[in-house]
Amino acid sequence: MKESIPPNPQSNLCKGKRVVKHLEKIKQMDLQEEIIMDILSRLPVRSLLRFKCVSKFWMTLISQPYFTTKHFNHAKNNQSFQKMLLLNKEYSFHCSSLSSDQLFEDIQRLDRPCSGELWGWKIHCCYDGLAIIGVRNYPDNDFILLLWNLSTRESVVLPNPKFSQEVTCTWGLGYDSTSDDYKILKINGKERNEVLALKSSFWRKLDNHPTGDNCALSDMDYLAFRHGALDCLDTSSNMGCLAFVHGAFHWIDSLLNHSMVMFSISNEVYGEIPLPEGLDLVFDIMHSKQGVSVLGGMLCVYSTRIHHREYTFKLWVMNEYGVKESWNQLFTIESTDLYSITPKYMFSDGEVLLRCSQLRRSGSVFKTSNESSGVWPQSDSECIQDGFVYTESLISPKLLTWY
Amino acid sequence: MASSSKTEQKKMLILKSSEEEEFEIEESIAVQSGTIKNMVEDDFTLIPLPNVDTETLIKIIKYMKKHGEKTKSNEKDIEEFDKEFVKKSFTELKELVLAANYLHITSLIDLLCQAFADRIKNKSVKAIREIFGIPNDFTPEEEAEVYEQHKWAHEEGKEHIDHSAY
């Protein structure tokens, strides 16, 4: 049993006086850099933007890419950093925090990026706290594509795709770890699939999926409307976006009956993921629809079917990516008026946030899967069209695109 | 005369604060500190902690004792303890986090950093400088420039900003 002799016994004897002085210094000392960084990485983005003014050191600390990554790694697993972006009828944006007891908290109006004579705002897709937004210019009606960080409100204009941004195309944004770059995929079928790697400055046309129809039919409201199945169409209604998870984009294709298409972001190759047993794809546009999404980091598939004026919504989650047997049907919702339901987010307790469209009413309503209310406070003039859940992040669109 | 006693004699350690005060503590509890664990592996039983004063050491021992008796059933109890534990002044919290960092007690570092974050997130820039003892090294023009870059963050909802340094 050794008596305690700390390492370097000799130096300790000599340093006796120095130890005392050192202690006094610690009391006055600032907290070490690593502790400050730990504390800061737990703060909401807005606080961090304000705290850039504290000192030059804090400004540098908060602005460095290493800190952005550290902060985001903490935020993405933390429910208090998840927020909702809501688009309403007049194309105005709101953001709010998500909480499972009262759904939306602390609702704030959000200024649109680069205002001016712009209209027809549409959120194409959202990932890592970044949104891809399409907007039109007045009076030329030119399309403008924007990359927008919803937490820092920084935005950049992206190059326009080769093929025009029609209503029927579907978008996805994902991160490619191989090239350390974000890529945007735009699916439009008919030889018009294209991809933009943010570090490059141009869109590249892609080959079609070999057997598929190449139309991402995530949401068929538009087609249903065209065929008279819907009384009205919210012009900015969500056409769905490509589900990005496990390094690939996913969507349902009308020509593939038992699987969904997947497109790997790094090697840009098409593949297929089997659909659950018990899901038969239906493409008759009378309110039957299906789609792919991501919940709690897992691929999920949902469908709405109509039978004798009753709508049945089903949701499956793939517990083990790529394994057909791991599809698990989470729940079913039956109603007489919810003709379009899209899952948006899974809370840590397993409850699912759903966006619902009702017959004879425009706009959307948000519900949770256990039927508790917590609906967006609606008045007739402010109808919510759609919403996206995003994670707070400091990721800078300007740093991702150098042009 | 082999008799195995039912209660094993638990191995004890002595922790010595910077003010030379000594505290006895079970080894199994003390090794929640990575630093102490390393010294125990090198066979030390008297552990001098010249970086930790008596007051702070007492609090840390209290934390380790409580977390040393963690079981599946008393999770709520420990949560309550943690909540109360961080109800301290910023000065005390600073001492604690410096000591926890030196002692490598991960759960305590997490608890303290989160407590700091929760308490400072709505503070004003001036209050932050006071709490952390940070001098303002911006010129007025420089600070105005940084302020302008994220003006909305400062202006929107500024009624919620807390100016106190406590």
> Rounded mean pLDDT of chain A?
81
| Cβ distance of B48 and A6 shorter than 8 Å | yes
The nearest CA of chain B is from the CA of A207 a distance in Å of 43
| Cβ distance of A54 and B120 shorter than 8 Å | no
User: pLDDT band at residue A284, thresholds of 50, 70 and 90?
Assistant: low
pLDDT tens, position by position, A29-87? 567 889 999 999 999 999 999 999 999 999 999 999 999 999 999 999 898 899 988 88
| Cβ distance of A39 and B109 shorter than 8 Å | no
At A285 the pLDDT is 60
Closest partner residue to B150 (CB to CB) among A27, A34, A49 is: A49
The first and second tokens of residue A336, run together, are 């007489």
The nearest CA of chain A is from the CA of B107 a distance in Å of 13
Closest partner residue to A54 (CB to CB) among B43, B48, B129 is: B129
At B7 the pLDDT is 56
| Cβ distance of B122 and A51 shorter than 8 Å | no
At A213 the pLDDT is 62
> Rounded mean pLDDT of chain B?
92
Q: What is the mean pLDDT of residues B127-139?
A: 95
Non-local CB neighbours of A32 within 8 Å, separated by 6+ positions: B98, B101
| Cβ distance of B94 and A42 shorter than 8 Å | no
Q: Which of residues 107-146 of A touch B (CB under 8 A)?
A: 108, 111
| Cβ distance of A26 and B98 shorter than 8 Å | yes
* Amino acid at position B120, single letter: I
At A25 the pLDDT is 44
- Crossing angle for the helix pair B54-68 and B75-85, nearest 10 degrees? 170
Q: Do residues A274 and A256 make contact, with C-beta atoms less than 8 angstroms apart? A: no
Instruction: For residue A297, give Cα distances in angstroms to A217, A317, A346, A357, B96.
Output: 22, 10, 9, 25, 36
Residue A328: burial class (beta carbons within 10 Å; 0-12, 13-18, 19+): middle
The nearest CA of chain B is from the CA of A37 a distance in Å of 9
SS3 B23: strand
Q: Do residues B131 and B61 make contact, with C-beta atoms less than 8 angstroms apart? A: no
pLDDT tens, position by position, B67-81? 998 888 888 999 999
At B109 the pLDDT is 97
For residue A357, which of A332, A331, A377, A337 has the smallest C-alpha distance? A337
Least confident of A111-125, A166-180, A349-363, B151-165: A111-125
The C-alpha angle A122, A94, A247, rounded to 5 degrees, equals: 55
At A102 the pLDDT is 65
| Cβ distance of A38 and B18 shorter than 8 Å | no
The nearest CA of chain B is from the CA of A72 a distance in Å of 15
Chain B contact for A2 (CB, 8 A cutoff):
yes
Closest partner residue to B132 (CB to CB) among A2, A23, A30 is: A30
Please give the model's pTM, rounded to 2 decimal places: 0.85
Q: Is the pLDDT of residue B147 over 70?
A: yes
A80 alpha-carbon distance from chain centroid: 15
- CA-to-CA distance for B64 and B104, rounded, in angstroms? 12
| Cβ distance of A39 and B113 shorter than 8 Å | yes
At A142 the pLDDT is 81
Instruction: Mutate one of B106, B146, B162 to test the A interface: name it (highest A CB count within 10 A).
Output: B146
Q: Is the pLDDT of residue B6 over 70?
A: no
At A98 the pLDDT is 82
pLDDT tens, position by position, A176-234? 999 999 999 998 866 788 999 999 989 999 887 777 665 554 444 444 444 444 444 44
Q: Is the pLDDT of residue A348 over 90?
A: no
Closest partner residue to B113 (CB to CB) among A5, A42, A55 is: A42
Instruction: Mutate one of B22, B39, B128, B148 to test the A interface: name it (highest A CB count within 10 A).
Output: B128
Residue, of A402 and B42, whose pLDDT is higher? B42
Q: What is the mean pLDDT of residues B132-150?
A: 95
Chain B residues inside the 8 Å CB shell of A36 = 132
Q: Do residues B26 and B11 make contact, with C-beta atoms less than 8 angstroms apart? A: yes
Q: Is the pLDDT of residue B22 over 90?
A: yes
Q: Which of residues 56-115 of B touch A (CB under 8 A)?
A: 94-95, 97-98, 101, 109, 113-114
B35 alpha-carbon distance from chain centroid: 15
Q: Do residues B23 and B14 make contact, with C-beta atoms less than 8 angstroms apart? A: yes
Chain B contact for A17 (CB, 8 A cutoff):
no
Chain A residues inside the 8 Å CB shell of B18 = 19, 23
Q: Is the pLDDT of residue A358 over 60?
A: yes
Residue, of A353 and B157, whose pLDDT is higher? A353
Cβ pairs bridging A and B (under 8 Å): 104
User: pLDDT band at residue A391, thresholds of 50, 70 and 90?
Assistant: very high
At B10 the pLDDT is 82
Instruction: For residue A345, give Cα distances in angstroms to A44, A79, A277, A368, B60.
Output: 20, 11, 24, 9, 40
Q: Is the pLDDT of residue A20 over 60?
A: no
- CA-to-CA distance for A269 and A254, rounded, in angstroms? 19
Residue, of A106 and A30, whose pLDDT is higher? A106
pLDDT tens, position by position, A127-177? 999 999 988 887 777 888 999 999 999 999 999 988 876 667 889 999 999
Chain A contact for B146 (CB, 8 A cutoff):
yes
SS3 for chain A is: CECCCCCCHHHHHHCHHHHHHHHHHHHHCCCCHHHHHHHHCCCCHHHHHHHCCCCHHHHHHHHCHHHHHHHHHHHCCCHHHEEEEEEECCCCEEEEEEECCCEEEEEEEECCCCCCCEEEEEEEEEECCEEEEEEEECCCCCEEEEEEECCCCCEEEECCCCCCCCCCCEEEEEEECCCCEEEEEEECCCCCCEEEECCCCCEEECCCCCCCCCCCCCCCHHHHHHCCCCCCCCCCCCCCECEEECCEEEECCCCCCCEEEEEECCCCCEEEEECCCCCCCCCCCCCCEEEEEEECCEEEEEEEEEECCEEEEEEEEECCCCCHHHEEEEEEEEECCEEEEEEEEECCCCCEEEEEEECCCCCEEEEECCCCCCCCCCECCECEEEEEEEECCCCCHHHHCCC
Chain A contact for B147 (CB, 8 A cutoff):
yes
pLDDT tens, position by position, A249-264? 999 887 788 899 999 9
* ipTM of the complex as predicted: 0.93
At A23 the pLDDT is 47
Q: Is the pLDDT of residue B121 over 70?
A: yes
The nearest CA of chain A is from the CA of B41 a distance in Å of 11
Q: Do residues B53 and B92 make contact, with C-beta atoms less than 8 angstroms apart? A: no
At B59 the pLDDT is 97
Q: Is the pLDDT of residue A1 over 50?
A: no
Chain B contact for A42 (CB, 8 A cutoff):
yes
